[in-house]
């Protein structure tokens, strides 16, 4: 079947352009074809023209999705009866190998954006802005904990860092762009993004090694950074709500936290375990 669009303007049918009989091509009608006036009222409808005679009780049934139907619709379709090729916005090239060239051109166009994405996420030197201090500080903390507990398996450290940043945030954004942009993600796009996400994970080892070689962040620098971020975003977050979330975690694991504080020398000097117990008792009375 073919669907031909026609426009009805004040009971007058405007015909589509006549085909170029010499080259046997015809352009499909678009709104600009009819030179319509501003704010003119038009009605569009489709005319179904069967290619073969149908019985009165015959019917067509299509079980695919609308997306798959649109994705398989060619830009140029020949009229089998007249031999005229119909084109829409761009004429197809006469050479048979043009499709392969177009495919390579599209891949080359997309490659720049993929490269820019990986450069922005993974580069620690040539990126547009400096590596956030929080990432360096967090990864150094994980390495310190691994050394403290005698964990020398690099795969374990790699997994810790991947769970903290790439898997928790970046991979989720890459595989689900509809979370950020108002777009529809087709099944084909989902498969392509899965490949990009897997490549992302395979690239993390070099990224982690580059961060490990950067100078360590002192506690003073980190505290100053956090204070600056708190000042810049003071109106965007509720401090009481954040404290309540922290308290929920502390109350749930109070025994483990108290035991860890009692074993830490610096925590014993500041009597942090006792202060945590007082905090939990006070909050229990309030509730």
pTM to 2 decimal places: 0.51
Mean pLDDT for 181-206 is: 80
Enumerate the β-bridge partners of residue 12. 9
Residue 172 has pLDDT above 60, yes or no: yes
pLDDT for the residue 174: 82
Q: What's residue 161's pLDDT?
A: 92
Residue 60 has pLDDT above 50, yes or no: no
- Determine whether 162 is exposed, middle or buried from the number of CB atoms within 10 Å of its CB (0-12, 13-18, 19+): middle
Other Cβ atoms within 10 Å of 14 Cβ, number: 14
Phi-psi region of 285 (alpha: psi -120 to 50; beta: other; left: phi over 0): alpha
What's the rounded mean pLDDT across residues 104-114? Answer: 72
Which position has the higher pLDDT, 214 or 90?
Answer: 214
pLDDT band at 239 (very low <50, low <70, confident <90, very high): confident
Residue with tokens 């490949």: 195
The share of the chain scoring above pLDDT 70, in percent, equals 64
- Measured CA angle at 20 (ends 15, 25), to 5 deg: 95
Rg (CA), the chain: 32
| Cα–Cα dist 253/287, whole Å | 18
Mean pLDDT of 196-207: 76
Least confident of 48-52, 143-147, 263-267: 48-52
DSSP annotation of 73 reads -
User: 61 or 268: whose pLDDT is higher?
Assistant: 268
How confident is the model at residue 100, as a pLDDT? 55
pLDDT the model gives residue 91: 63
pLDDT at 16 over 60: no
The average confidence (pLDDT) of the chain is 74
């Amino acid at each position: 079947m073919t669907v031909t669009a026609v426009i009805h303007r004040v009971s007058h049918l405007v015909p589509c352009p006549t085909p170029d009989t010499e080259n046997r091509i015809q352009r499909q009608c678009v709104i600009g074809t009819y030179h319509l006036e501003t704010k003119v009222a038009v009605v569009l409808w489709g005319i179904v023209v069967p290619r073969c005679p149908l019985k009165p009780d015959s019917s067509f049934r299509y079980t695919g999705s609308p997306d798959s139907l649109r994705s398989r619709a060619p830009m140029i379709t020949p009229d089998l009866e007249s031999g005229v090729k119909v084109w829409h916005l761009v004429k197809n090239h006469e050479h048979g190998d043009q499709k392969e060239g177009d495919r390579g051109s599209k891949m080359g166009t997309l490659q720049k954006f993929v490269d820019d994405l990986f450069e922005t996420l993974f580069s620690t030197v040539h990126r547009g802005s400096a590596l956030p201090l929080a990432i360096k500080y967090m990864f150094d903390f994980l390495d310190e904990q691994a050394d403290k507990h005698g964990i020398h398996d690099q795969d374990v450290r790699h997994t810790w860092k991947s769970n903290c940043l790439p898997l928790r945030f970046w991979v989720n954004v890459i595989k689900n762009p509809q979370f950020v942009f108002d777009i529809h993600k087709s099944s084909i796009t989902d498969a392509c993004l899965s490949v990009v996400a897997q490549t992302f994970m395979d690239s993390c080892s070099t990224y982690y090694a580059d961060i490990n070689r950067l100078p360590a962040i002192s506690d003073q620098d980190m505290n100053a950074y956090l204070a600056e971020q708190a000042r810049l975003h003071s109106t965007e977050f509720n401090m009481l709500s954040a404290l309540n979330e922290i308290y929920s975690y502390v109350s749930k694991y109070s025994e483990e936290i108290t035991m860890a504080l009692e074993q830490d020398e610096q925590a014993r000097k500041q009597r942090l375990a006792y202060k945590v117990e007082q905090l939990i008792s006070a909050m229990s009375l309030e509730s």
